[in-house]
Amino acid sequence: MKRNSSIAILGLGVTGISVAKYLKKNNQEFIAYDTRKNLPITDEIKKYVNKKNIILGNLEVNIIKNHDVFIVSPGINLDKIFLKEIKKNKKIIKSDIDLFNEQNKKNVICITGSNGKTTVTLLLEYILKKLGKKAKAGGNVGYPALALLEKEYEYNILELSSFQLEMTNKISCKSALITNITPDHLDRHKTFDNYIKIKHKIFENSEYVILNNSDKNILPQTNPKKLFFGSKDPTQDNSFSIVEFNNKNFICYGDRKLICQDDVKLLGNHNLLNICSVLAIIQSLNLNIDEAANIAKNFQAVEHRLEKFYHKGIVNWINDSKATNVDSTISAVLSIKQEIILLLGGRAKEQNYSQLNTILSGKVINLIIFGESRKYLSEKLSSVKNVTVTNSLEEAIKISKEIAEKMVRKKTNIKELNIILSPACSSFDKFLSYEERGVYFKKCVLNEYR
């Protein structure tokens, strides 16, 4: 059936629904498409989309002629043929971020990166609120970007994934930050160079750029308004760095000490870098960095990110389900000083898993590999000792608990034992998201102790 409307929404997930709500509020007609043939038409969808204007199944090239504008959700991977046909027909491709950008009149801070972007986004929101500012985070975390337009915030903070950046035409903001860049999502973006290029779109229309000087994949910028973190020159006036004094790490601004690592609740040097990046943003907003530094000390781990959620005796259970790539797992392992039992697995990505061998061999006393890619991962991690391969996350939890209990009974010299889920893989072998995997992990662990 041919259905005409100038606007097409591609994808009816959280982002697509927010677009439908926005368009309905502005009295604009649209047709909504979703590639999931069996998508449940929920009450939330029915609020904003007439059921007769929903089309499910594969996107066919012949729909292109029916629309002038295609608003694409980040989860929709437009194949080359479909994308070329849209451009060939001189149609417009937009994202929800484009719609947000067209309407927003307030300060926007944009944050992306392969790792750490959610922690940085929520830490910035936390600090701004404690400083008495009206601030809200959204985009790839929390609220969809368009939902931020429904209230008046002094600062809108957008976490942006590479999927969101890929389809966004223009991003205007007060300050932009890339936390770091390591290979990820190459199944979608094809090459690492293309992934790097997509990430750098965030700097194109930003008043200030915040640069990680210790990351070779973050390219030099011509923008005159630059601030740095992780700089190789810690005394640089516009740089926030980690500097060691008397065997302790400090966050410094230039040569001035701001925070001692011992006073920070977040685990690991990678989180000190995250704090450095947030303080650079605070500086770009012309706010008090000393007040912000004191506030940052009390920020606790975000759910699914090195989240210590249960302990019994010397045993700590830590949920790091957000670690969907190798570098995140490396950061997690290096941030824990005591003994580790590591749960790793899921659906492997196009990454170099072999680089984990040296790090895990020196830090992990037992490795439990689970999930769809367990055989592949066990082959790649052949140098690691005390490895158990099992089918499921549930079985991995039971095995790790048994190992921990044996160690406790033997009364070893271990003072603290950390069982951590830090998968280095996507969750899509069994779960819809890393959040669902993390929630399930916590539930299973707590059930084990009932």
Tokens describing residue 63: 């729909």
Q: Report the Cα–Cα distance between both ends of the chain, in Å, rounded.
A: 55
Backbone angles phi, psi at 334, to 5 degrees: -70, -20
pLDDT attached to residue 433 = 92
The total of other beta-carbon atoms located within 10 Å of residue 307's CB is: 21
Single-letter amino acid, residue 104: N
What pTM was computed for the model? 0.83
pLDDT attached to residue 362 = 85
Backbone angles phi, psi at 55, to 5 degrees: -125, 125
Best CA proximity match to 409, nearest among 314, 311, 309:
314
What crossing angle do the helices spanning 326-335 and 269-284 adopt, rounded to 10°?
110
CATH number of 307-448: 3.90.190.20
pLDDT attached to residue 2 = 47
Note whether 450 and 347 are within 8 A (CB). Answer: no
Helix H or strand E encompassing 31: strand 31-34
pLDDT attached to residue 80 = 67
Which architecture, in CATH terms, is 98-296?
A: 3-Layer(aba) Sandwich (3.40)
Distances (CA, A) of 301 to 146, 305, 326: 26, 6, 20
Region class of 46: left (phi > 0), else alpha (psi between -120 and 50), else beta: alpha
Note whether 229 and 241 are within 8 A (CB). Answer: yes
Is 7-94 CATH 3.40.50.720? yes
What does the alpha-carbon distance between residue 37 and residue 288 come to, in Å, rounded to a whole number? Answer: 52
pLDDT attached to residue 75 = 82
Residue 97 burial by Cβ neighbours in a 10 Å radius (0-12, 13-18, 19+):
buried
Per-residue three-class SS string for 131-166? CCCCEEEEECCCECHHHHHHCCCCEEEEECCHHHHH
Q: What are the domain boundaries of the chain?
A: 7-94, 98-296, 307-448
Q: Per-residue pLDDT for the chain (450 aa), expressed as one digit of tens each?
A: 445 579 999 999 999 999 999 999 999 999 999 988 999 999 999 999 999 999 999 888 999 999 999 999 988 877 767 878 888 899 999 999 999 999 998 999 999 999 899 999 999 999 999 999 999 999 998 899 999 999 999 999 999 999 999 989 988 999 999 999 988 887 778 899 999 999 999 999 999 999 999 899 998 888 889 999 986 666 667 899 998 888 889 999 988 999 999 999 888 888 999 999 999 999 999 999 999 999 999 998 889 999 999 999 999 999 999 999 999 999 999 989 899 999 999 999 989 999 999 999 989 999 999 999 999 999 999 999 999 999 999 999 999 999 999 988 887 778 899 999 999 999 999 998 999 999 999 999 999 998
pLDDT attached to residue 186 = 75
Using alpha carbons only, give the angle 41, 304, 193 rounded to the nearest 5 degrees.
85
Backbone angles phi, psi at 259, to 5 degrees: -140, 135
Backbone angles phi, psi at 47, to 5 degrees: -60, -35
